[in-house]
Amino acid sequence: MKISGSTVVVTGAASGLGAVTAAHFSRRGAHVLGFDLEASLPKTGSSPGITYVPVDVTDPVAIAQGLDEAAAASAPMRVLVNCAGIAPSARILSSHGTHDLDLFAKVVQINLMGTFNVMTLAAERIAASELTEEGERGVIINTASIAGYEGQIGQAAYASSKAGVIGLTIAAARDLAQHGVRVNTIAPGVVETPMLAMVSDDYRNALAAGVTFPQRLGRPEEYARLAAFLVEHQYMNGEVVRMDGALRMAPK
C-alpha cells in the first residue's frame, strides 16, 4: 500500500504516539486527518499536511462525520491508525476498596470499543474505494500494549482492554480480507510519551533498565516507522507486533 497520495486517519493525534505518527505520515506524502477530543486539539489550526478533526472515539456519530470528511478528501482514504487510549491505574482490591466498575468500563469503552468503533466505520468507507494496482484497498493499524500479555499490578482495566485489541486482530483481518483490507496491531512496551515526561529521572531510568536491548525507552518515532512499515508490507496481515526491546513486564 502506497502512503504517498493517500488519506490517512490517525486517532489520538493531538499528542503522544498519535501526534508523531500523524506527522510521520504527513512527511511521507499522505493527507492526514487527525482525530482527537476537541479540548485536546491544537489551538492554532492545522499543521502542514494534517487536518485536525474533533472526534470522540466513543461517539459513533462523531466518528462517522469525521470519516465522511476523510472520504471526501481528494486523496483516497486508505489507512487508519488507531492511537487513542487512556491508562489509569487501580488495583482490584486496595485500601480504598474494590476497583471502581465505572472506571473499568470507561477504559474498555475508550481503548477497546473506541478502537472497534473507528475501525468498523473506517473499514466500511475503505471497502467502498477502488482496488489499488496491488489488489488491495486499505490497511488498519490498531494499538495494543504488552500489558495485554503481561499486565502489571494496577493494570486490570488497561490490560483487559488491550488484550481485547490483541484478540480482535486476527478476527478483523479475516472479516475484512474479502474487502481487500489488511489489519495489524502494534503492542508497544514502555515508550517515551508526554505521560512519562512528568515522572522523575530515577523512575524513567528504572523503566529503561528493565528493557533487554536496547536498554532505553522506546521512541514514538519508532512506533510511527513501524506503522508505516506495516502499511507498506502487503504480506503483513493479522499480526500483533511487539515493539518492546524484548521487555517482559514484571508484576510491578
pLDDT tens digits, one per residue of 72-83: 998 999 999 999
Burial class (CB in 10 A: 0-12, 13-18, 19+), 236: middle
**250 within some domain:** no
Query: Using an 8 Å Cβ cutoff, are 113 and 163 in contact?
Result: no
**1 within some domain:** no
- State pLDDT tens for residues 136-171: 999 999 999 999 999 999 999 999 999 999 999 999
CA distance 246 to 249: 10
**137 within some domain:** yes
The pLDDT profile of the chain, 252 residues, written as one tens digit per residue, is 999 999 999 999 999 999 999 999 999 999 999 999 999 998 655 577 899 999 999 999 999 999 999 999 989 999 999 999 999 999 999 999 999 999 999 999 999 999 999 999 999 999 999 999 999 999 999 999 999 999 999 999 999 999 999 999 999 999 999 999 999 999 999 999 877 776 678 878 888 999 999 999 999 999 999 999 999 999 999 999 999 999 998 888
Residue type, 4: S
**252 within some domain:** no
To the nearest whole percent, how much of the chain has pLDDT over 90?
87
- Name the residue with cell 503492542: 187
**106 within some domain:** yes
- Name the residue with cell 493479522: 238
Query: Using an 8 Å Cβ cutoff, are 211 and 146 in contact?
Result: no
Q: Is 158 a catalytic residue?
A: yes
CATH number of the domain enclosing 40: 3.40.50.720
Domain that holds residue 205: 7-243
A 10 A CB-CB count for 34 gives 29
The count of structural domains within the chain is 1
**29 within some domain:** yes
Catalytic pick from 149, 158, 223, 235? 158
**251 within some domain:** no
**99 within some domain:** yes
